[in-house]
């Protein structure tokens, strides 16, 4: 039983990180109809920025983390929007953008491998990794720390979306860009803001998950897949859904690794995806009506 | 005029293909056959994406299914009989083994295609992409973990090239060209069937689907049914390609059937030209043949002091190529070529003619 609870807690910790990636994915889809197949690579890359900041520029870890966030905003936010997405606006359908983000995924993956290293890299953490015993449960503090930071980030984002003027303008843009524009919302700026938020979330997710796994160029495959599954399971058109989906996938993933088979742990989220698509395609928290695209 | 040009181009290509295996080295034959095998799989993706407008991220996975089935049937061990007991023994008998392996691979991947496309086509537009993504990852886990079936990470070795119609196809000095001819023949059949699929009255529905799915539906075409069929046929092309791939490389392991190669197929089609018959061949050439040249140039550049170029792997160059192609030439290299060779037509009305509301005297 204690094992079970410990697994749930560590599952929630990784799940919260998945949720960060899934939220960014959902936001991009809502405001700009960008299905970002490079989302996993977006989470893989910032850790490399931090490592590069430490080894090449000699920065201490805390500054390197800030450097990573700044690089992510520049590369995964600005550059991604202006160089990849904007030139494709006006083309028929969403297929060109899908293909383009797939190419970006391969580019980032091979770029990290060729320009940094193909080997898995250790990544420092600012969180203490002591283990404390509460009610007979052995809980490691870094998991609690991850959970706290991720939840705080999500809460901040929710407050921004619902409580500020800019956030509500973003929501309006997501729901109906045309009407939003008529009402005087600067739609272009809101879309850019979404890309930047996505890049920021990816950077935070990257810094949180990298001490758990080694930093490796191929991390994006699994992370991306998990983020897609989390977003679809929760409900594609809902930020709340992405949170629920992320936590659910994290916990299931952890339980599967412990009780089913570690070799097939990756198959469990996939199975979940198929079940959801078969029986509840709008996702657990999704609404049935969709926006027309 | 353009028709004649196209016909002449095809004739020259066929003549060159028939001549090439004789003059090329053993390695040259291997590259040629690899190009054609990849092109067959890419034709399938082209049907799925260029005509039915769906994304398949599983083509390398389907190739893997075909390759493992073929490896078992060609090796003919006890496992082959356990697994394919429905097949009469005569079909695994040497003279038929290659064809029955191709048929089994095509059938298995066709059915698998229906199985995974059916649930996801009922719902949202991009769900098929996610399901095929999941399917590829799952297949890769199976290929890697189920050692009794696939040999795990060590794969299956010593897959013999069988003889077909009495032609020995072993990779020995005297026979390696025969296998290339066999692959050429299979590619020709596959390309002809694909041409027929998109040009026959029955297959015109695919073109209608490509042009405007909504209008196709209003004309009474069962859009979901045709999408399903396109996906299943396209996946079967992947299975056939895999079936040829196993005897070509004589050794298979899970790595060429992972997610990244599946994604490459999509990019290949975009570079070559989506929805065009030549597209898969151009795309496969860019993906398979070009890297060999680039590797050579690259090592020369690095040797001459440009060490930075050692970092530019082919995937990096290729993905940048794809990103720029989509932005500036959405119809790929085939479309670009068609635009360049198209006779320039003068606009029907001259610019000084009637504008809206004006009376032309």
Q: Determine the Cα–Cα distance for residues B252 and B151; give it in Å rounded to an integer.
A: 9
The per-residue pLDDT for A266 is: 82
Residue boundaries of the structural domains of chain B:
20-258
The per-residue pLDDT for B139 is: 93
The per-residue pLDDT for B333 is: 83
Q: How confident is the model at residue A133 (pLDDT cuts 50, 70, 90)?
A: confident
Q: Determine the Cα–Cα distance for residues A18 and A185; give it in Å rounded to an integer.
A: 31
The per-residue pLDDT for B349 is: 45
Which carries the bigger pLDDT value, residue B167 or residue B146? B146
* Whole-number average pLDDT of chain B: 82
Q: Is the dihedral of CA A27, A30, A34, A36 positive or negative?
A: positive
Chain B touched by A277 (CB under 8 Å): yes
Mean pLDDT score, A110-137: 82
The per-residue pLDDT for A49 is: 95
Query: Exposure string (b/e) for A256-288, b if CB count within 10 Å is 16 or more?
Result: bbbeeeeebbbbbbbebbbebbeeebbbbbbee
Which run of H or of E encompasses B286? none
Phi-psi region of B194 (alpha: psi -120 to 50; beta: other; left: phi over 0): alpha
Q: Examine the pLDDT at B190 and tell me if it is beyond 90.
A: yes
pLDDT in tens, B74-85: 876 656 555 555
Q: Examine the pLDDT at B65 and tell me if it is beyond 90.
A: yes
Q: Determine the Cα–Cα distance for residues B76 and B73; give it in Å rounded to an integer.
A: 5
Helices A39-55 and A187-209 sit at what angle, rounded to 10 degrees?
Answer: 60
- Interface confidence (ipTM) of the complex: 0.86
Helices A267-279 and A239-259 sit at what angle, rounded to 10 degrees?
Answer: 130
Answer yes or no: do A102 and B266 touch at CB < 8 A. Answer: yes
Asked if A46 contacts A69 with a C-beta cutoff of 8 angstroms, the reply is yes
Which carries the bigger pLDDT value, residue B142 or residue B310? B142
Mean pLDDT score, B62-66: 96
The per-residue pLDDT for A77 is: 94
Answer yes or no: do A100 and B326 touch at CB < 8 A. Answer: yes
List chain A residues with CB under 8 Å of B325: none
Q: Examine the pLDDT at B44 and tell me if it is beyond 60.
A: yes
Which carries the bigger pLDDT value, residue B171 or residue A291? B171
The per-residue pLDDT for B187 is: 95
Q: Which of A99, A268, A283 to mutate to test the interface with B (most CBs of B within 10 A)?
A: A99
Mean pLDDT score, A131-140: 76
Nearest to B129 among A98, A103, A267 (CB): A98
Q: Please state the separation of Cα A139 from the chain's center in Å.
A: 25
Asked if A184 contacts A172 with a C-beta cutoff of 8 angstroms, the reply is no
Best mean pLDDT range from A77-81, B123-127, B130-134, B143-147: A77-81
Q: How confident is the model at residue A293 (pLDDT cuts 50, 70, 90)?
A: very low
The per-residue pLDDT for B77 is: 62
* Count of domains observed in chain A: 1
For chain A, what is the total number of helices (H) and then of strands (E)? 11, 2
- Residue A289 forms part of a structural domain: no
Query: Exposure string (b/e) for B85-111, b if CB count within 10 Å is 16 or more?
Result: eebeeebbeeebbbebbbbbbbebbbe
Mean pLDDT score, B207-212: 77
- Residue A291 forms part of a structural domain: no
Chain B touched by A88 (CB under 8 Å): yes
Q: How confident is the model at residue B357 (pLDDT cuts 50, 70, 90)?
A: very low
Q: Examine the pLDDT at B352 and tell me if it is beyond 60.
A: no
Q: Examine the pLDDT at B355 and tell me if it is beyond 50.
A: no
Q: Which domain holds residue A116?
A: 2-279
List chain A residues with CB under 8 Å of B311: 114-115
The per-residue pLDDT for B208 is: 81
Give the CATH number, domain containing residue A240. 1.10.3470
The per-residue pLDDT for A139 is: 79
CA triplet B278, B282, B287: central angle to 5 degrees? Answer: 145
Chain A's closest residue to B266, CA to CA, is A99
The per-residue pLDDT for B353 is: 43
pLDDT in tens, B90-121: 555 555 678 888 998 999 999 999 998 888 88
Q: Examine the pLDDT at A180 and tell me if it is beyond 80.
A: yes
The per-residue pLDDT for B354 is: 42
The per-residue pLDDT for B124 is: 63
The per-residue pLDDT for A151 is: 92
The per-residue pLDDT for B165 is: 74
- Residue A284 forms part of a structural domain: no
Asked if A247 contacts A15 with a C-beta cutoff of 8 angstroms, the reply is yes
Q: Determine the Cα–Cα distance for residues B106 and B118; give it in Å rounded to an integer.
A: 18
The per-residue pLDDT for B93 is: 58
Of chain B, the percentage scoring pLDDT greater than 70 comes to 85
Q: Determine the Cα–Cα distance for residues A125 and A5; give it in Å rounded to an integer.
A: 24
Q: Which of residues 32-61 of B touch A (CB under 8 A)?
A: 49, 53, 55
Q: Which of B316, B317, B324, B328 to mutate to test the interface with A (most CBs of A within 10 A)?
A: B316
* Whole-number average pLDDT of chain A: 87
Q: How confident is the model at residue B22 (pLDDT cuts 50, 70, 90)?
A: confident
Q: How confident is the model at residue A291 (pLDDT cuts 50, 70, 90)?
A: very low
CA triplet B343, B348, B354: central angle to 5 degrees? Answer: 155
Structure tokens at A104: 């970006």
A186 CA: distance to closest CA in chain B (Å):
25
Which carries the bigger pLDDT value, residue A258 or residue B296? A258
Lowest mean pLDDT among A8-17, A266-275, B53-62, B227-236: A266-275
pLDDT in tens, A208-219: 999 888 888 888
Chain B's closest residue to A225, CA to CA, is B134
Choose among B74, B226, B65: nearest CA to B136: B65
Lowest mean pLDDT among A148-162, A255-269, B185-199, B302-316: B302-316
Mean pLDDT score, B270-278: 88
Size (chain B), residues: 361
Structure tokens at B25: 């080295």
């Amino acid at each position: 039983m204690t094992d079970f609870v410990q697994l749930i807690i560590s599952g929630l910790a990784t799940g919260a990180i998945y949720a960060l990636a899934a939220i960014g994915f959902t936001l991009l889809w809502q405001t700009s109809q960008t299905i970002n197949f490079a989302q996993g690579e977006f989470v893989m890359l910032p850790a490399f920025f931090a490592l590069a900041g430490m080894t090449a520029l000699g920065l201490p870890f805390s500054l390197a983390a800030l450097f990573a966030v700044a690089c992510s905003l520049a590369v995964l936010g600005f550059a991604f929007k202006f160089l990849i997405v904007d030139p494709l606006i006006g083309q028929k359908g969403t297929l060109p953008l899908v293909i383009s983000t797939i190419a970006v995924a391969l580019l980032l993956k091979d770029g990290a491998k060729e320009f940094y290293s193909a080997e898995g890299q250790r990544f420092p953490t600012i969180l203490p990794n002591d283990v404390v015993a509460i009610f007979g449960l052995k809980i490691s503090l870094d998991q609690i720390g991850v959970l706290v930071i991720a939840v705080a980030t999500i809460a901040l984002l929710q407050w921004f979306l619902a409580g500020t003027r800019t956030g509500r303008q973003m929501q309006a843009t997501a729901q109906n860009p045309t009407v939003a524009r008529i009402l005087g919302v600067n739609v272009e700026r809101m879309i850019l803001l979404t890309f930047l938020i996505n890049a920021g979330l990816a950077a935070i997710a990257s810094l949180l998950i990298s001490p758990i796994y080694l930093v490796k160029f191929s991390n994006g495959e699994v992370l991306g897949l998990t983020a897609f599954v989390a977003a679809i399971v929760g409900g594609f058109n809902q930020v709340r859904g992405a949170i629920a989906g992320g936590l659910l996938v994290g916990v299931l993933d952890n339980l599967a690794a412990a009780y089913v088979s570690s070799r097939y742990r990756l198959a469990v989220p996939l199975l979940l995806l198929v079940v959801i698509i078969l029986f509840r395609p709008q996702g657990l928290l999704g609404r049935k009506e969709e926006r027309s695209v | 005029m353009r028709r004649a040009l196209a016909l002449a181009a095809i004739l020259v290509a066929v003549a060159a293909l028939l001549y090439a295996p004789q003059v090329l080295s053993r390695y040259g034959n291997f590259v040629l056959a690899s190009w054609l095998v990849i092109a067959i799989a890419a034709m399938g993706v082209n049907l799925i994406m260029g005509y039915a407008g769906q994304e398949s991220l599983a083509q390398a996975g389907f190739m893997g299914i075909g390759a493992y089935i073929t490896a078992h049937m060609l090796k003919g061990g006890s496992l082959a009989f356990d697994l394919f007991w429905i097949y009469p023994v005569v079909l695994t008998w040497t003279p038929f083994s290659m064809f029955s392996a191709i048929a089994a691979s095509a059938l298995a991947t066709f059915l698998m295609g229906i199985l995974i496309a059916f649930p996801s086509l009922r719902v949202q537009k991009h769900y098929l992409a996610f399901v095929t993504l999941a399917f590829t990852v799952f297949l890769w886990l199976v290929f890697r973990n189920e050692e009794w079936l696939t040999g795990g990470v060590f794969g299956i070795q010593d897959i013999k090239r069988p003889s077909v119609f009495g032609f020995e196809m072993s990779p020995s000095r005297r026979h390696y060209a025969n296998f290339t001819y066999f692959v050429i023949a299979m590619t020709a059949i596959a390309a002809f069937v694909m041409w027929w699929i998109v040009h026959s009255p029955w297959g015109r529905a695919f073109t209608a689907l490509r042009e405007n799915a909504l209008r196709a539906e209003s004309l009474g075409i069962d859009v979901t049914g045709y999408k399903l069929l396109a996906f299943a046929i396209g996946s079967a092309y992947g299975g056939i390609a895999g079936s040829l791939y196993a005897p070509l490389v004589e050794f298979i392991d899970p790595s060429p059937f992972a997610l990244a190669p599946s994604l490459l197929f999509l990019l290949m089609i975009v570079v070559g030209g989506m929805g065009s018959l030549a597209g898969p061949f151009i795309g496969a050439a860019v993906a398979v043949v070009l890297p060999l040249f680039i590797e050579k140039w690259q090592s020369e550049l690095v040797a001459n002091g440009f060490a930075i170029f050692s970092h530019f792997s082919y995937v990096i160059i290729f993905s940048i190529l794809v990103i720029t192609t989509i932005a500036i030439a959405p119809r790929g290299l085939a479309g670009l070529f068609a635009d360049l060779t198209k006779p320039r037509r003068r606009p029907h009305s001259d610019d000084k003619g009637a504008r809206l509301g004006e009376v032309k005297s």
